[in-house]
Homo-oligomer: A and B are copies of this chain.
């Protein structure tokens, strides 16, 4: 059976890392004996340049019919003064697809310890970030003038079901891994966090075997760097997840090593897959972008959207082995190009 995929290469190094990752996907598809039908559309700055809109209607139409979307990166300084920024295209895409759970696995690979700023860089976990609520989308929001003075405001908002579904996913992941669930909020100050914590307490009744650790976001930021081994499965609201997942990236040492999945449920769900790094306009077009984040996102796609756990494992193993052999792109201090590094990963996969 053919699988369909909408590809949004986006800006900067987006197209370069997407092309690399698609080679890995092709290999896995061939090995698995299925075809992947691909369709491409515009997003972000590239879409602004061509249509004036970072999430144009043609892209929307294509995405509406798709279950699986693969994205490169959006953004760049040339759109800084544009009324609609490229990032707003990404936010619109997330909202349109109704994808409420952003999964960001993090791991220090063997041989990559020196990139971590930590003295004992043992970390491996996943941040599960609610992606459609909180301060990102809450209404009302905007700018006004009060007594001649500019004022700005936005609203954070959560309904119980928006919290419940992502918390439940967190419990499922923690249960499957046999580890505690760390729930992060600011329930000593925020109303949405009080509802969050209360919902966690309710949902946990269905998962009596999963220990729960509640942490305020400030304490979590502190503890995460001191005892990262406690942070195996973390579930939190949108903005806290944005901050904590980048913090995890900082502890790993490079966003270039991280992929992400944005889904609306356990495996078999719709999904948007993208590397965690940005569009890196400074190295655009040089062929030296690190494809690891994009390739790991392909692995997540196979696993979460298509239920292909085994090929996803192969891909991850091939990345680990390639790094272990010392191959790396310049951002990791090496001399590989995007192409040569990807070639190495493919060779590793051949050996499986």
A interface residue numbers (CB < 8 A to B)? 85, 87, 91, 116-120, 135-136, 138, 141-143, 146, 149-161, 186, 188-192, 194-195, 217-219, 221-226, 228, 239, 242-247, 249-251, 253, 255
Contact = CB atoms under 8 A, between A and B. Distances in A.
B117 A226 contact: yes
Interface centre among A154, A190, A244, A247 (most CB of B within 10 A): A154
Residue of A117, A143, A195 with most chain B CB atoms under a 10 A cut-off: A117
15 contacts: A85-B188, A135-B189, A141-B191, A143-B191, A143-B194, A150-B195, A151-B158, A154-B192, A155-B156, A156-B156, A218-B243, A218-B245, A221-B247, A222-B255, A226-B253
Given A189-B135, A251-B225, A159 B155 contact: no
B157 A152 contact: yes
Nearest to A161: B149
B117 A87 contact: no
A159 B143 contact: no
Contacts of A243: 217-218, 221, 243
Contacts of A149: 159-161
Contacts of A249: 222
A195 B152 contact: yes
A152 B158 contact: yes
Contact of A225 (B186, B225, B245): B225
A242 to B, nearest CB: 5
Nearest to A254: B226
Contacts of A154: 155-156, 190-192
Given A155-B155, A186-B239, 11 more contacts: A87-B188, A117-B226, A118-B118, A135-B135, A135-B189, A135-B190, A143-B194, A149-B159, A153-B156, A153-B192, A221-B221
